[in-house]
Amino acid sequence: MTDTLREAYRVMRTIRAFEERVHEEFATGEIPGFVHLYAGEEASAAGVCAHLDDRDAIAGTHRGHGHCIAKGVDVKAMMAEIYGRKTGSCHGKGGSMHIADLSKGMLGANGIVGGGPPLICGTALAAKQQHTGGVGVAFFGDGAGNQGTTLEALNLASVWDLPAIFIAENNGYAEATASSWSVASDNIADRAAGFGMPGVIVDGFDFFAVHEAAGEAVERARGGGGPTLIEVKFTRYHGHFEGDRPASLDCLTRFRDRVTEAGELAEHALDAIDAEVAKLIEDAVSEAKAAPKPTKDDLETDVYVSY
Ligand SMILES: Cc1ncc(C[n+]2csc(CCOP(=O)(O)OP(=O)(O)O)c2C)c(N)n1
Ligand SMILES: [Mg+2]
Return phi, psi of residue 101, to 5°: -155, 95
What integer pLDDT is reported at residue 236 of this predicted model? Answer: 58
Please tell me the distance between residue 278's alpha carbon and the centre of ligand 1 in angstroms: 30
Inside any domain, residue 307: no
Q: Compute the distance between CA of residue 26 and CA of residue 101 in angstroms, rounded to an integer.
A: 23
Please tell me the distance between residue 90's alpha carbon and the centre of ligand 1 in angstroms: 22
Q: Name the nearest CA neighbour of 208 among 177, 252, 239.
A: 252
For residue 82, give the amino acid letter.
I
Which pLDDT tens digit goes with each residue over 82-122? 999 999 999 999 999 999 999 999 999 999 999 999 999 99
Inside any domain, residue 219: yes
Q: Compute the distance between CA of residue 191 and CA of residue 145 in angstroms, rounded to an integer.
A: 10
Inside any domain, residue 301: no
Do the strands 177-178 and 173-174 form a parallel or antiparallel pair, or are they unpaired?
A: antiparallel
Supply the CATH number for residue 146's domain. 3.40.50.970
Q: Compute the distance between CA of residue 297 and CA of residue 208 in angstroms, rounded to an integer.
A: 48
Inside any domain, residue 76: yes
* Residue-number span of the structural domain to which 82 is assigned: 2-292
What integer pLDDT is reported at residue 238 of this predicted model? Answer: 53
Which pLDDT tens digit goes with each residue over 225-278? 999 999 999 975 555 565 555 556 899 999 999 999 999 999 999 999 999 999
End-to-end CA distance of the chain: 42
Q: Which residues line ligand 1 (CB under 6 A)?
A: 61-63, 111-114, 141-144, 171, 173-175
Inside any domain, residue 79: yes
Inside any domain, residue 154: yes
Residue 179 has pLDDT above 60, yes or no: yes
Q: Compute the distance between CA of residue 152 and CA of residue 164 in angstroms, rounded to an integer.
A: 13
Closest ligand 1 atom number to CA of residue 141: 15
Inside any domain, residue 304: no
Domains contained in the chain, number: 1
Question: What is the mean pLDDT of the segment spanning 288-299?
Answer: 95
Whether the pTM exceeds 0.85: the reply is yes
Pocket test for ligand 1, best of 38, 62, 146, 167 (most atoms within 8 A of CB): 62
Q: Compute the distance between CA of residue 266 and CA of residue 280 in angstroms, rounded to an integer.
A: 22
Pocket test for ligand 1, best of 119, 170, 175, 183 (most atoms within 8 A of CB): 175
Contacts of 60 (CB under 8 A, 6+ apart): 67, 68, 99, 106, 107, 108, 109, 110, 116, 139
Inside any domain, residue 306: no
Q: Compute the distance between CA of residue 194 and CA of residue 190 in angstroms, rounded to an integer.
A: 8
Please tell me the distance between residue 282's alpha carbon and the centre of ligand 1 in angstroms: 30
Contact 179, 142 (CB under 8 A): yes
